[in-house]
Amino acid sequence: MKILLATQNQGKVKELQELLADAQIEVLSLQDIPNWEEVEETGSTFAENAALKAHVAAERTGYIALADDSGLEVDALNGAPGVYSARYAGEPKDDERNNDKLINALEKFPDEERTGRFRCALVIATPDGQEFLTEGTVEGRILHAPRGQEGFGYDPLFFIPDFGRTMAELTMIQKNKISHRAQAFQRAIPILKDLVKNI
């Protein structure tokens, strides 16, 4: 049985494939689909963007498809950068410029007001139009300066009090156990197994 994870990111594919290791399910990515045209993310929430991508992928390919959208929500900035996390500092996407913009935006806020979370919305869509949503979040605090070399995006600024480290100071194995995406994937596994059983 094959399912499609609507991403070019092979790291995400490997993560999902490992979670499905005990099921007879092969995870394909968009790299396996010839001439794939990117789906424009026009939603105003992570869930809307994930649903857009998942439904288009399921319709175009005939596979059960999954798509995720995720980013950083900062409370002091009313949830920004939110769905614009990857392009917070404009085009082209640039992690360093995004981090600099976030540091500047939070300059006047004391530590106790620098709370936020990484949020991931994952949508499973079937070719006949069914939709299932799972989510994951990691709560933390935004630092004044980056720390750590692992990860990407806002990881060096995102401090997790339970670990006493930033997301960028965790190993990939640690991150994949607690990340917002890992949580959403974990919650999707029973749904996927049920769908595959009923085909």
* Whether this model's pTM surpasses 0.95: no
Cα–Cα distance measured from residue 197 to residue 177, given in angstroms and rounded to the nearest whole number: 26
Cα dist from 170 to 110, 160, 165, 174, whole Å: 25, 10, 7, 6
Each residue's pLDDT tens digit in the chain (199 positions)?
Answer: 899 999 988 878 888 888 888 888 999 999 999 999 989 889 999 999 999 999 999 999 999 999 999 999 999 999 999 999 999 999 988 999 999 999 999 999 999 999 999 999 999 999 999 999 999 999 999 999 999 998 889 999 999 999 999 999 998 888 888 999 999 999 999 999 899 887 6
Both tokens of 104, joined, read 């500047």
Helix axes 180-197, 10-19, angle to 10 degrees: 60
Catalytic residue among 69, 75, 155, 194: 69
- CA 90 remoteness from chain centre: 19
Strand partners, 68: 122
Q: Is 58:64 a contact under the CB 8 Å cutoff?
A: yes
Q: Which residue has the tokens 């959208």?
A: 69
The pLDDT of residue 75 is 98
- For strands 64-74 and 2-5, give the pairing: parallel
The CATH class that applies to domain 2-197 reads alpha beta
Q: Give the 3-state secondary structure percentages of the chain, helix then strand then coil, rounded to 5.
A: 40, 25, 35
**Residue 183 corresponds to which amino acid?**
Q
69 has catalytic annotation = yes
